[in-house]
Chain A
């Protein structure tokens, strides 16, 4: 395994890996889903699959907020920015995501005013600096990011900054997990829970997974030792037929979450009745829109939005990869028409996308597919 020596307690990493082999035994096949894109990235980068026994299968979940956005939402945001004197502001990760008429970066090359910001507060700063323009912030992210957008909107209101709006594509993690569990394609035994989303929402929201669905979930840190320890904790529960929420990432994640962040979110946002996710279809109460008290800062209220539903290119299997039904290399376009240099779908663009992660670290091994390559 790579990078063993770079982390604290390398001998502990080796012992934990041995404990996993011991606990996993040989008979039972374990399907563990890691929800968050940061964990997907870590799994590939650290070569964790190489040290896990063959009967433990890691399945990638939909925890990549860029990846789950249907193409139509990109088009909607860009159509707003096509109006005169509108600046399109978004995080760097959004810039190369394809819409039907090209990505934001490609629109910039064609004359649209497109700016990268690294914080929602900098999108607001752009509005202060450009009083004769309107800044539309294309907001993405799970609950890790939504509180920061919320605080920024509150500040815009408090300061009376009117040339600023948010096009909200914030999504919430729990409904996505619920949709995966409801899906007939998926059989899962347990979850490795997201790290930094949980610093905001805490561990309590996961309790229904354990009690209603009888699946264990362990909230995990991002080091190899963290993830291996989380797998040990899951295996202990699975072998005993238990289903509980556990927090392996206690040093960062408080059980109750971040109350100030949750208050900010509740103040500014409300749940949309439903929202379309790539791969998972329409999920109720799974995304955030601005409350009516903040309508002036809601781009969807300030501007006309086409709202056209756009399906992915026919051959692209982004949805199935997102759900974990297919591994990245099983998509017909992977590594051929769709590469990081010319991506067809968002999973190849985003640093948290499983296709991008797989491509960087493993695509050469895909030619010799393991017996676990197909989920059937």
Chain B
């Protein structure tokens, strides 16, 4: 999907600095930070997530706005389903 999902970084994996636990409207999954090597996020930062990878860091306000946009587009359910599926958790 073209649209990215906002999520909050909760913790960076201790054994793998390019893996982080994120929270997306209450769903917690690991995502890959490999595309943000030049400007790594820290816990508390918000990121835009696409197919399990963090694409960019954004402000909390922008995360809220992006969530509103997804909601207005009827895409929240799809976004949550995607995040729930990360790590093959839904299979």
Contacts and interface: CB of A to CB of B under 8 A. Distances in A.
A199 interface: yes
B44 to A, nearest CB: 18
Interface string B24-58: 00000000101111100000000010111101101
Nearest to A122: B88
B58 A251 contact: yes
A45 B88 CA distance: 31
A187 to B, nearest CB: 26
B4 to A, nearest CB: 5
B2 A120 contact: no
Which of B32, B55, B91 has the most chain A CB atoms inside 10 A of its CB?
B55
B3 A6 contact: no
B78 interface: yes
A321 B37 CA distance: 39
B2 A151 contact: no
Interface string A286-324: 000000000000000000000000000000000000000
Interface string B48-91: 10111101101100100110110111110010011101111001
Contacts of B56: 199, 252, 254, 258
Which of B2, B34, B74, B87 has the most chain A CB atoms inside 10 A of its CB?
B2
Interface residues of A, number: 50
Interface in A113-131: 115-122, 125-126, 129
Interface residues of B, number: 38
A256 to B, nearest CB: 10
Nearest to A226: B69
Contacts of A223: 65, 68-69
26 contacts: A7-B68, A8-B68, A37-B2, A38-B2, A41-B73, A42-B69, A118-B51, A118-B85, A118-B86, A119-B52, A119-B53, A119-B85, A119-B86, A141-B51, A144-B55, A145-B50, A147-B35, A148-B50, A151-B53, A196-B2, A196-B50, A223-B68, A223-B69, A254-B56, A258-B35, A264-B35
- Nearest 6 pairs of A and B residues by beta carbon: A119-B52, A38-B2, A118-B85, A148-B53, A260-B37, A151-B34
Interface of B: 1-4, 32, 34-38, 48, 50-53, 55-56, 58-59, 62, 65-66, 68-69, 71-75, 78, 81-83, 85-88, 91
Given A42-B69, A119-B86, 5 more contacts: A8-B68, A63-B2, A125-B87, A195-B3, A260-B37
